[in-house]
Amino acid sequence: MVIELVYDLDQWQWGSRTKYPDGTKRPFKMDKIVIHWGGYTNPGTGQEDEMAILRGWQRYHIDSKGWTDIAYNFAVGNSGLSYRLRGINRSGATSGDYENDGIRENNEALAIVWLGGLNHEISDAAYGTMSRLIRESQQTVVIGHREVKGATQCPGDDWMTYIGEERWTIAAPPPPPIPPPTGDHQMITIKHYAGYESKGLKHQRPTVVAGQRMLAYHGFADQKTVDSTCASDGWYGPGTVEATKDYQQARGLVIDGTIGPVTW
């Protein structure tokens, strides 16, 4: 299982003193996410502030604490930007053993830190980016640092609420629908199997695509596709038939699964 998190700025882009790829620094088998905060950190107002916070933390963790690097894997700012720190490697940010399995959390938890702290508000953009990173990490266990280490307030009450409500599981908003064909588009009559090469109807594929886009635009996407968006693949398969019938039922049309000039 390859896990890849999409981030905005890599180590070399935010001025990190260390640079190395995912999975090569030290062995790491991830089994959960731990959310952290910066304690009293003012989140600042944008990328420059956030990069400065990271460089400051890294200085502190390396020069004062004697650690090998900044002690988190990824960071999220109120700007909504995400930063790769150690990446997918052991972090050292989370001491303690959450489930008493004999493996300390700094060896099996991915630590994501919010670049803010007490008395500062978490932006919607930061929540959104955190949710996306959690989903991309493919982890189902998400905890706050205080659940491992009792004596810390980290990551603050707001993140604990977010964790308790499992807000990251709320699906990402679907992509905006593709606008239907414009102009005086006259739909020819198409039905099940239209667009299938084996049936000699290949020439109908652009029309099927137009029909599928129209269905998706009206909220009746082909539910058989993996992501529940209309396949728009030019094949009038069973999913498209179902979507067409649902649309026809909702519009009071004859429910025959056939798209034609009167359908829209």
Site for Zn ion in 152-181 (CB under 5 A): 154
How would you list the strands of the sheet with 82-84, edge to edge?
82-84, 74-76, 109-114, 32-36, 142-144
Whole-angstrom Cα distance, residue 206 to residue 202?
9
5/154 with CB nearer Zn ion: 154
Asked if residue 38 lies in contact with residue 53, where contact means CB atoms within 8 angstroms, the answer is yes
Site for Zn ion in 26-65 (CB under 5 A): 36
x-or-dash string of contact with Zn ion, 137-156, rule CB under 5 A:
--------x--------x--
145/213 with CB nearer Zn ion: 145
In the bound complex, what is the minimum distance in angstroms from residue 110's beta carbon to Zn ion? 13
Cα atoms found within 13 Å of the Cα of residue 93, Cβ hemisphere only: 33
156/237 with CB nearer Zn ion: 156
Element (H, E) at 124: helix 124-137
In the bound complex, what is the minimum distance in angstroms from residue 113's beta carbon to Zn ion? 7
What three-state secondary structure class fits 262? coil
In the bound complex, what is the minimum distance in angstroms from residue 127's beta carbon to Zn ion? 18
| Number of residues this chain uses to bind Zn ion (CB under 5 A) | 3
In the bound complex, what is the minimum distance in angstroms from residue 145's beta carbon to Zn ion? 3
In the bound complex, what is the minimum distance in angstroms from residue 158's beta carbon to Zn ion? 14
Contacts of 96 (CB under 8 A, 6+ apart): 104, 105, 148, 149
Residues at the site binding Zn ion, with contacts judged by CB under 5 A: 36, 145, 154
